[in-house]
Amino acid sequence: MRSRHVISSLDLTRDDYFRIFELADKFSNVKKLNYLSGKVISLAFFEPSTRTAQSFHTAAIKLGADVIGFESEESTSIAKGENLADTIRMLNNYSDCIVMRHKFDGSALFASEISDIPIINAGDGKHEHPTQALIDLYTIYKVFGEIDGRTFALLGDLKYARTVNSLLRALTRFKPKKVFLISPSQLKVRREILDGLNYPVIETENPYDVIQDIDVLYVTRIQKERFVDEVEYEKVKESYVVDLRLVSMMKKDGIILHPLPRVTEIDRRVDKTANAKYFYQASLAVPVRMALFYEVLGERKDD
Amino acid sequence: MISSSKRDELIVSKIRNGTVIDHIPAGRALAVLRILGIRGSEGYRVALVMNVESKKIGRKDIVKIEDRVIDEKEASLITLIAPSATINIIRDYVVTEKRHLEVPKQIRGLIKCPNPQCITNNDVEAESKFTTVSIKPLKLKCDYCEIYITEDDVIRQIL
């Protein structure tokens, strides 16, 4: 891989993505391997997480690594006033890789400047979540057999959703036909993300205008915790609901993805449709993260 | 007939030793003084000319400060709000050095990231770091949270 750290989707090349997909295929049905035996992986989750933390934990165990760390700030010395830099220095001494989730934007990059061992960004504020983008793209790859040439739509909170930023950036390594960005005007994708994209992007507010063209509908939750102003949240919290009517207008083989957790933005009756792939998507998290660990920490011929 | 440059000289006399900051965009002289931490009580003899004619930039401000040198950090900050400015070092009434300022490619620790959720506002060791995206108009990008900031944001921080 080009970079030892995985802070942004842009740290991975197109070849990196495909190599990780191939490895994920290989790791899909294995019970346990010893590829990372003797390695210690730190899970530094300064912000609450269930599925991301657990899937990283499972991936590490399945490759034979030992796992240390924490899953909330309260159980760490941060609660006593220790700064992030010192916590990273400490974990740096104990382990071979740090998987980090943190509420502040840019915290993963800051940690990578301090750490001698690889940092994997498991979500930094509203900035990026590159391993989720890996899972998203792997799901599309598994369903369609390819990523290039597809029409995408990202729906919901496109301003504060870090998974959206990472997915949009990851798509620069592929050749999407076009990407619709569907959001209320207050929650449009931030300019600094849009500026780096190299494929056609169309912003709109109404999913019904474009639903019939879409191969991949990526739905996000409007995240209360990211809003500084609660009044702003109240105005937009239920802007979109993906319901059976909307889904009935999709292409027959179009798919719906969601990084989860889902609240009200997808009607539960949609879960039973053939288009709903978000639980399948979640099931791919462990092999993808095993593949990434192997890429970052595994023995390689060029080492 | 008195030329415009002569008229300006009549407003402010020459200084013996110190610094003349010329070609400041009109109306920005007070912000330049703010960058230099000059509020009037420090004892420096300071002369300020605002909104005078300039062949180069239309209208300009000039700041003259006696017995005061400008360091690199101050010069970098001045470039952000007055990219056209020149700094002239005066010794015995003569300009001994003329510095044309350039907006640096990277700006470290000089300005705060306006994003309260940026790590640089939340960890004692995280120093702000901006990369210059464009000079005209000024656009800087935080290396950590990637937020864009403009000249107005910089001026707001200074004033």
Condensed to tens digits (0 to 9), the pLDDT of residues A108-149 reads: 999 999 999 999 999 999 999 999 999 999 999 999 999 999
Nearest to A156 by CA among A179, A180, A184, A127: A184
Chain B interface, mutation test: which of A83, A89, A107, A121, most B Cβ atoms within 10 Å?
A107
Q: Which residues 175-194 of chain A have a CB within 8 Å of chain B?
A: 190-193
* CB-based contact, A159 to chain B, within 8 Å: no
CB atoms within 10 A of CB B96: 10
In chain B, what residues touch A107 (CB-CB under 8 Å)?
A: 119, 123, 144
* CB-based contact, A258 to chain B, within 8 Å: no
Low-confidence stretches of chain A (pLDDT < 50) are 2, 301-303
Please write the tens of the pLDDT for every residue from A216-238: 999 998 877 777 778 878 877 77
Average pLDDT, chain A: 93
* CB-based contact, A160 to chain B, within 8 Å: no
Residue A192 in tokens? 């600094």
In chain B, what residues touch A125 (CB-CB under 8 Å)?
A: 117, 145
Nearest to A28 by CA among A290, A292, A298: A290
| DSSP letter string, A211-222 | GGG-SEEEE---
CA nearest to A165 within chain B: B146
CB contact under 8 A, B117 and A191: no
Q: How far apart are the C-alpha atoms of A100 and A111, rounded to whole Å?
A: 9
What's the whole-model pTM score? Answer: 0.90
Q: How far apart are the C-alpha atoms of B23 and B62, rounded to whole Å?
A: 6
Per-residue pLDDT, A223: 77
Complex confidence, ipTM? 0.92
Please write the tens of the pLDDT for every residue from B20-55: 999 999 999 999 999 999 988 888 999 999 999 988
In chain A, what residues touch B124 (CB-CB under 8 Å)?
A: 83, 85
Q: If residue B76 lies in a helix (H) or strand (E), which one and from where to where?
A: helix B72-81
Per-residue pLDDT, B5: 58
In chain A, what residues touch B145 (CB-CB under 8 Å)?
A: 105-106, 125, 127
